Amino acid sequence: MEKSNTTIDFILLGLFNHTRPHLFLFIVVMTIAIASLNGNALILLLILLDSRFHTPMYFLLSQLSLMDMTLVSTIVPKMAADYLSGKKSISPAGCGLQIFVSLTLGGGESFLLAAMSYDRYVAVCHPLRYPVLMSWQLCLRMTVGSWFLGAADGLMQAAATLSFPFCRAKEIDHFFCEAPILVRLACADTSVFENVMYICCVLMLLVPFSLILTSYSLILSSVLQMHTTEARKKAFSTCSSHLSVVGLFYGAAIFIYMRPKSYRSDNHDKVVSAFYTIFTPVLNPLIYSLRNSEVKGALKRWLRKCANAKPQYT
């Protein structure tokens, strides 16, 4: 197949067609995306303004909200503009930027979730040693490390993906540029890159996921030793909800990046990618923050303060 110049734009075929059922699904997805942005922005604002939340646990939650907001803002506006305008082109630079940002945030969130699980493990299993085992210095190191490792992976995969020559048919059957999808269009041997990408995924996905499972296993073991039934129920409820969101995020990412090439399907890839780029970000503030009594209390105080601050006219 004839190769094309890298200056020619790619075409994103998108997630939806212009039919009534797909229009309804588009509205649903946009509603979820807006709810995700508002929910994460609210959590970020509460943690920033309330000094009681200036702790390592809530700082990690604020970073999770920041990552989710940025991820949704990177993907959804372009997808919506393409669907509404019918102009589906994206430049190689824009495509590379989407790959870099999505992998930076996805990889960073993978490590950040592992750091959050360690924080919960220390809080539940070693509460008296929490200030030592989860110091601010360690918290900042884990946060910076999460961002740095995600950015390093994103930069490497974006540069390597766009270095391949692409065939004339540069249609991407997806709603944003994602490295495994784009590599299929390459008119060159990509086996070495795919092997390297697989190794990166083991380090970026399976290792943090294993640490999370280990942390929550130790937490559940500690919970089983609690004397009160109410405390056990509350702890089980919290752990199960956290693990469900973690499973959704890691399961979708592993499905996209670690599945054998022969088993890949464009339609499946689009739906699964939507889970960890659009749906999971709206669940994170609900599961990690808004179910928290301290956060709900701070939200009520903030709303009362806003109501009392309304100007009174005489």
> Does 155 map to a domain?
yes
Please choose, from the candidates 201, 98, 109, 94, the residue with its C-alpha nearest in 3D space to the C-alpha of residue 153.
201
> Does 60 map to a domain?
yes
Helix segments in the chain, DSSP class H? 20-49, 56-85, 92-125, 130-133, 136-162, 179-183, 191-201, 207-224, 229-257, 266-274, 280-284, 293-308
> Does 296 map to a domain?
no
Q: Are 287 and 241 in contact (CB under 8 A)?
A: yes
> Does 312 map to a domain?
no
> Does 208 map to a domain?
yes
> Does 149 map to a domain?
yes
Largest CA distance in the chain: 77
Q: Which residue has the tokens 């056990």?
A: 232
Number of domains in the chain: 1
> Does 300 map to a domain?
no
The two structure tokens encoding residue 102: 């999505």
> Does 68 map to a domain?
yes
The two structure tokens encoding residue 151: 């950015």
Residue 93 sits in a domain whose CATH number is 1.20.1070.10
The two structure tokens encoding residue 248: 């959704």
Per-residue pLDDT reduced to its tens digit, 249-307: 898 888 888 877 666 676 778 888 888 888 889 888 888 776 677 777 777 787 777 77
Please choose, from the candidates 113, 122, 140, the residue with its C-alpha nearest in 3D space to the C-alpha of residue 56.
140
pLDDT in tens, the chain (314 residues): 444 444 578 899 888 888 888 899 999 999 999 999 999 998 898 888 888 889 999 999 999 999 999 999 999 999 999 999 988 899 999 999 999 999 999 999 999 999 999 998 998 888 899 999 999 999 999 999 999 999 999 999 999 999 988 876 688 888 999 888 888 888 888 888 888 888 888 889 999 999 999 999 998 888 878 767 776 776 777 777 788 888 888 988 888 888 776 666 767 788 888 888 888 898 888 887 766 777 777 777 877 777 776 555 54
State percent of the chain over pLDDT 90. Answer: 39
pTM, entire model: 0.88
The range of the structural domain enclosing residue 143 comes to 10-285
